[in-house]
Structure 1
Amino acid sequence: MKKLALHWKIIIGLFLGIIWAILSGFFGWSEFTTNWLAPWGRIFINLLKLIAIPLVLFSIIGGIVGLGDPKHLGRMGIRTLVLYLSTTVIAVSLGLLIVNVAKPGTWMDETVRKENRIAYELWAQQEGEEVHDDINMLADPVNSELIAEVAKRRGFDEDENVQSRLKQVESQKDSGPLTFIEDMVPDNVFKAMTDNGSMLKVIFFALSFGIALLFVPNDKAQPVIAVVNGLSEVFLKMVDLIMKGAPFFVFALMAGIVSEMAGDNPVKIFELFKGLTWYSLSVLGGLLLMAFVIYPTVMKVFVKRLSFKGFLKGISPAQMLAFSTSSSAATLPVTLECVEENLEVDPKVSSFVLPIGATVNMDGTSLYQAVAVIFLAQMHMIELDLAQQLTIILTATLASIGSAAIPSAGLVMLMIVLSSVGLNPAWIGIILPVDRILDMVRTVVNVTGDATVATVIGEVSAGENGEVGVFND
């Protein structure tokens, strides 16, 4: 009997985990699931994160040294950033197109939208923000009772999850124009390796170390290079060993996530989408277009040797893991393995392009932000003009560069984008109920985008060197 491929085992584990969580809700097993199954899912993520930082460090150094000529590094770096930024701008633009055509925020009950509008005007008045249009419901005496009722309600600002993220946004508001570059340079590389979301600092150190190593005399550089390559191989082998248990770990992870959302009331899982159906469908539609239309088009133009079906087959274990963990960083070790072994991309390319992509390339997240901002504006009866929508494209693209490759980091980015167009950042509380599920899907798109760019860069580089890649579909 033919051995079942790993990605099929992961898919089976994923669906069994969801089924278990639903059944545990019906039979009252949620406490057992939380105490005895969910911890194994968290252990799995911790194991992947344990490997991610050192693997990124040694892979980038090894990749730079492997390139040999610093000119090749500069050329590859420029191509990588241009491709990543291009796909991000396409993703945001696609999100804006979908949400402006579908108008999911207008499908809500008109009375609810009116109440939302009053809440927005009250917030703008309190914060001293300029209202976006000429509608002024606060000045209409007919709305006096509704205004009093809305004013008494507990706002999203008071939600604990929203409050914690508001503090992060406020701290970023006080930063200067060069803070991003300043934060990218670590003062202590060991501290950077232990700080959550400091992948850019690790990448900066790895790039600096690798470039410096190119200028060291060969007799002194070779022992260091041998150690770097050896350590990189060890961490890749650790990935192999951990992935042998991936189907069970994914089962435990999904059982824990869904059980946490639903508790002993499985109906709650389906209720999560009830009020936000059109918003969720708009986001999912855009993400699917990116994954199955935009990326295939890019692949068709640049990569002749590889069908998109073959590409999906090769990258599927990383996609399943991305869906389960909602973390590009945690998935990175598996993405590297898939791209190098299944897609046969030169390790010198993948080890440079993929770690950078896990930090700066957030196509799925950027698309979701564009849809979310316009949706929230629509449900508050606010029309954003072309200039404001262009601001969304620019802000979402720039924000994605500094976003941590961890679960729900997109929410903080979304708050920054909302603030950039004068909207209430606390509105993320409205979409929080469905964010976890959408976060899982957009992480799949982020990882697929990373793999696409790495494959394209690998193909272009191979073509320049007169090499022809071979892929066994």
Structure 2
Amino acid sequence: MNFTQRILISMFLGILFGIILNISYSIFGFNINFLVEHILYPLGSIFISLLKLMVIPLVFVSLVCGVTSLQSLDALRRISLKTISLYLVTTSLAITIALALAYIISPGDSINISLIRDYSFESQATLSFSSVLINIFPDNPIRAMADGEILQVIIFALLFGFALAISGEKGKKVSHFFTDLNEVIIRMVFIIISIAPIGVFALIARTFAIQGIEVLLPLLSYCISVILALLLQLSLVYGLLLYLSNIGFIKFLKCMREAISFAFSTASSSATIPVTLDAVEKKLHVKKSIASFTIPLGATINMDGTAIMQGVATVFIANVYAIDLVFSDYLMVIITATLASIGTAAVPSAGMIMLAMVLEQVGLPVEGIALVLGVDRLLDMFRTSINILGDSAITCFIAKTEDKY
């Protein structure tokens, strides 16, 4: 039985077990707290903690290796420009698709505003754009690593890799060390991933045990809108990139099965980096010099799924509060959500904080986020799957333009 099959079976059993636990509690009154909070929760949390343990070293070392392997500064500049430009373009298209679809469906028209009483959302102070920009650049790389500030780590890795690339023979010696270190880190990651079926089962089971499926019913139109927008982004935008890369759409999905399963289970783009890299390099045959640069970068700044959620949620909340958005509001959402997605940490549900920024920019009540909190964790799994597929499709396209297959 291969890794994908084990992950899928764990997901299915986790969903089934979680629903059984939820029914046992809600209908029969059984006490499931010990099982959910003292068995499933520790197992899932330990698994996620082990994955997070490797995120910073993996991102830093793989980016340094990616930059130094590009061989020339012209190649580094060219690929960096292509990568960041494509990530911004696909995110802009994602939010546009989300807004258009949500405008047509109007998912919040049938929702009673009194639902807000059932949920709570503690509004946090949102940073200004200038503050977000300043916070991207580290003043202490060690502290950035310790605090898990992945954007700051990326900036430091790019600068460090650039310095190595222009340091001649001395730089090559250090580059060889990082190449060897990268292999060790990858092996460590796959040791941790070998216990993924247990962690996936615990994470999925706890999610469904706590939330059940009834939480989806009042917000069904919202959930459908988000998932439809995600599928449109996958089939239209990524489909076009794959067509231009001479890669079949079905072949691409088959090659990415393990990464999709892992992203869906963990709801973390960063945690999925090693699996995504493995699929892109070994199954889609992209050169490591490209993949090791674009995939870690995309896991942080290419959040198309998050941008789609922000677009649909904005229209949904506007519908619920009976607030009409004008063209300038939609344009502001596109700009803000695109920039906000770059600042969204690649960890579960961080997009909610960025959604608050988007809502404030168009004058919508931030407390409306309470309406979608109940289903955010479930939809986060779908969003993360799209995020990593976007990273991979763009990587394939860049590899095609650079003749790096």
Calculate the TM-score normalised by the size of structure 2. 0.94
Secondary structure of the equivalent of 1:67? coil
2:375 to 434, 437, 454: 434
Secondary structure of the equivalent of 1:167? coil
Label 1:414 to 1:23 Cα distance change in 2 as closer, same or farther (>3 A): same
Deviation of 1:328 (Å): 1.0
**Which residue of 1 is the match for residue 22 of structure 2?**
25
Whether contact under 8 Å (1:239, 1:334) holds in the other structure is: no
1:167 to 95, 120, 124: 124
Deviation of 1:186 (Å): 1.1
Deviation of 1:337 (Å): 1.8
Whether contact under 8 Å (1:51, 1:333) holds in the other structure is: no
1:286 to 224, 229, 235: 229
**Which deviates more from structure 2 when the two are superposed, residues 331-340 or residues 229-238?**
331-340
1:180 to 121, 126, 132: 132
Deviation of 1:333 (Å): 2.0
Whether contact under 8 Å (1:92, 1:366) holds in the other structure is: yes
**Which residue of 2 is the match for residue 15 of structure 1?**
12
Mapped pair 1:356 → 2:300: no
**Which deviates more from structure 2 when the two are superposed, residues 46-55 or residues 292-301?**
292-301
Question: CA–CA distance in 1 between the matches of 2:125 and 2:388?
Answer: 25
Question: CA–CA distance in 2 between the matches of 1:85 and 1:355?
Answer: 15
Deviation of 1:90 (Å): 0.7
**Which residue of 1 is the match for residue 173 of structure 2?**
223
**Which residue of 2 is the match for residue 107 of structure 1?**
110
Identity of aligned residues (%): 39
Deviations 1:23-79 (A, max 9, x none): 233443452243123322221111111111111111111111111100100000000
**Which residue of 2 is the match for residue 189 of structure 1?**
141
Deviation of 1:239 (Å): 2.2
Mapped pair 1:424 → 2:381: no
Mapped pair 1:249 → 2:199: yes
Whether contact under 8 Å (1:38, 1:256) holds in the other structure is: yes
Mapped pair 1:410 → 2:351: yes
**Which residue of 2 is the match for residue 97 of structure 1?**
100
Deviations 1:129-156 (A, max 9, x none): xxxxxxxxxxxxxxxxxxxxxxxx9696
Calculate the TM-score normalised by the size of structure 1. 0.81
Structure 1 unmatched runs, 5+: 117-152, 262-268
Amino acid at match of 1:89: S
Structure 2 unmatched runs, 5+: 25-29
Whether contact under 8 Å (1:193, 1:202) holds in the other structure is: yes
**How big is the alpha-carbon RMSD for the aligned residues of Structure 1 and Structure 2?**
1.8
Secondary structure of the equivalent of 2:325? coil
Deviations 1:77-136 (A, max 9, x none): 00001111111011001001111111112234xxx46x79xxxxxxxxxxxxxxxxxxxx
**Which deviates more from structure 2 when the two are superposed, residues 234-243 or residues 386-395?**
234-243
Question: CA–CA distance in 2 between the matches of 1:369 and 1:25?
Answer: 29
**Which residue of 2 is the match for residue 202 of structure 1?**
153
Amino acid at match of 1:207: L
Secondary structure of the equivalent of 1:106? coil
**How many residue pairs get matched?**
399
**Which residue of 1 is the match for residue 185 of structure 2?**
235
Deviations 1:162-190 (A, max 9, x none): 21xx2242xx1xx4x53233211211111
Whether contact under 8 Å (2:22, 2:208) holds in the other structure is: no
Question: CA–CA distance in 1 between the matches of 2:46 and 2:392?
Answer: 26
Amino acid at match of 1:415: A
Deviations 1:188-211 (A, max 9, x none): 111111214x11110011110111
**Which deviates more from structure 2 when the two are superposed, residues 328-337 or residues 55-64?**
328-337
